[in-house]
Chains A and B, each alone.
Chain A
């Protein structure tokens, strides 16, 4: 059976499973559609949250990001997990007790203000729409690479599948498909990693293999990796090569941003009890950690594997000849994501750091005239892992299904956050308060349909700033939604004026700072300052600004609150009541 047929069978089977679940879990009421009737088991919700959270970026890109930078990019590992501590301790239980359906709904009701609600809806839409573009393009790319169809055809298929289960099942359908998608993606991620870890260290647990002895050389794996990297002029893997200050700020921004992402927060509305919301955050992190503890091992081991493949007899000896390169290199060259150029015409592949001045003389002595592995796309790492480790073809088919599961599960969660903000917060709460439950459910389905069409359109015509928008989504979530939610729970005296002023300052400051360096609306050439550390205000990278935006939000909100009127008595009572679990409205029978 050819690889193509195998991919088709595995991916097709996974899609049938998702659609089957959708038909079983149809939504009949708005409570079904927005919150799965609050009847989801906390452990199931944990797995669904993990799939919702882990996007194409976590599945495909993260190991590559760590592999080529090493210690410095540990920020992603800590930042994308540390946010769950904030969620479990500061937000999830109280928002569950409040017992509504959306994030803007909490902000609007708690701050007794339609303007607060509308500002929250705007922040939510900017965050979720920018985030969903990446998922749709990711799904399109995965389709085109594994199923050999046009990227746009792939995108339409992906949109069609999401349409079926998200529009039909709402949160209920999404929850149970996400559970299935989590199983697919974690199995797909772990299997190749286990085999590679056994090959390199003899340890079947990749996370432990990372800190074990490299079987071939007898020294620790990381020592070996540092050695070969330095021998080729690269910077060592475990060292710090960035500013401590920015590493710190970036980690804080990712953590606070994670805790403020609406599509993650709404998952905690689906569990039956307040105590379940706390527990569920813990389980979500367990399920996320299964991938996140493996990812740094995948990164380090793949980096070492690439070097030892090119220099089979050690870095001091000759590298392999281009004609004798392994098959996986040949197949990835066809995609353009991997490319070689024989600069000195000796037929061998010299891979080293030609930007290092210290290494230049060594390279000249050896007759090297530049790095000959001219392109190595970081996303190849995870996708080519099964081939690098020479695993059977069904493992590769599994990776295809896993990558698609990661992209689709996140897209569905985002689409639900977008559609509920429109149908519930704009339509029901602001524009047409008189509509019935049935009409609202229809509105929710229609806006979900529109959201999918918009996401597909943007996925087909990506605005060319896919990488930067992630910074924007996290920066805005950190600078707007997280502080507003936290103050709404922990400060009884926080009022409309303070919350709205804080959110607006956080929103504008973050947008201004990012656009100053990355261009207005990310249009190249419109940036007012060049994006280099020398130009950054106090050396703060635009990527790390979310932490500063959050701080500004807190300070402004506090100062404005001090000079304006206290919130009314019934609001202060509301805050009292969300602080205790007793009296939460439980699961709704269906």
Chain B
């Protein structure tokens, strides 16, 4: 019984971190680079001759994706050993 409970807790912790990562994933790409670009353009930040939205579209989103995957990997390795489901 306790094992089932811990399996459920492990899975819901995993789902939580996946959701957080995917919200960030969508915000930088669909958000900053496309839909929210007009908002970013109103900020008084000039970035290499253009606005932050253009940077996110061409480079920023890719860099964020890399950080997200490594963060998820690090988080899950910790979670795996916490719940004792890591590989020996």
Q: Which residues of A contact B (CB under 8 A)?
A: 66, 71, 74, 77-78, 81-82, 84-85, 88-90, 93, 207, 210-212, 219-224, 226, 238, 240, 244, 247-248, 251-252, 255, 273-275, 278-279, 281-282, 285-286, 289, 292-293, 296, 576, 579-584, 586
Contacts and interface: CB of A to CB of B under 8 A. Distances in A.
Nearest to A221: B49
30 contacts: A71-B58, A74-B33, A74-B54, A78-B29, A82-B61, A85-B25, A85-B69, A88-B69, A90-B18, A93-B76, A211-B49, A212-B48, A220-B50, A222-B48, A222-B50, A226-B49, A238-B54, A244-B35, A248-B35, A255-B29, A275-B76, A278-B72, A279-B73, A282-B73, A285-B62, A289-B66, A579-B10, A581-B85, A582-B84, A582-B88
Interface in B62-88: 62-63, 65-66, 68-70, 72-73, 76-77, 80, 83-88
B69 A275 contact: no
B58 A210 contact: yes
Interface of B: 7, 10-11, 14, 18, 21-22, 25, 29-30, 33-35, 37, 47-51, 54-55, 57-59, 61-63, 65-66, 68-70, 72-73, 76-77, 80, 83-88
A354 to B, nearest CB: 27
Given A247-B34, A251-B29, A252-B30, 11 more contacts: A78-B62, A81-B65, A85-B68, A89-B69, A211-B50, A220-B49, A222-B49, A238-B54, A278-B73, A289-B66, A581-B86
A282 B69 contact: yes
Given A89-B18, A248-B35, A282-B66, A71 B48 contact: no
A74 B58 contact: yes
Contacts of A251: 29-30, 34
Contact of B21 (A85, A219, A576, A583): A85
B77 to A, nearest CB: 6
A580 B10 contact: yes
- 8 interchain residue pairs of minimum CB distance: A211-B48, A220-B49, A74-B57, A223-B49, A222-B49, A282-B69, A580-B85, A278-B73
B22 A244 contact: no
Nearest to B77: A275
B47 A77 contact: no
A244 B35 CA distance: 7
A530 to B, nearest CB: 27
Contact of A275 (B33, B37, B80): B80
Contacts of A221: 48-49
B80 A581 contact: yes
Nearest to B59: A293
Interface centre among B30, B49, B50 (most CB of A within 10 A): B49
Nearest to A79: B29
A308 to B, nearest CB: 16
B41 to A, nearest CB: 10
A258 to B, nearest CB: 11
Contacts of B83: 580
A74 B76 CA distance: 31
Nearest to A220: B49
Given A211-B55, A581-B85, A278 B76 contact: yes
Contact of B58 (A77, A93, A212, A580): A77
Given A77-B62, A244-B35, A251-B29, A582 B85 contact: yes
Nearest to A211: B48
Contacts of B62: 77-78, 81, 285, 289, 292-293
A583 B88 CA distance: 8
A413 to B, nearest CB: 20
Contact of B65 (A74, A85, A211, A222): A85
Contacts of B55: 211
B49 A219 contact: yes
A267 to B, nearest CB: 15
A238 B11 CA distance: 43
A251 B49 CA distance: 25
A274 B65 CA distance: 20
Contacts of A210: 48, 58-59
Contacts of B86: 275, 581-582
A92 to B, nearest CB: 10
A292 B62 CA distance: 8
A407 to B, nearest CB: 23
Contacts of A286: 66
B57 to A, nearest CB: 4
Nearest to A288: B62
Given A85-B21, A238-B50, A248-B30, A296 B58 contact: yes
Contacts of A90: 18
Contact of A220 (B34, B48, B80): B48
B52 to A, nearest CB: 11
A285 B62 CA distance: 8
B21 A207 contact: no
A240 to B, nearest CB: 7
Nearest to A224: B49
A274 B49 contact: no
A161 B14 CA distance: 44
A82 B25 contact: yes
Contacts of B35: 244, 248
Contacts of A226: 49
Nearest to B17: A89
B76 A211 contact: no
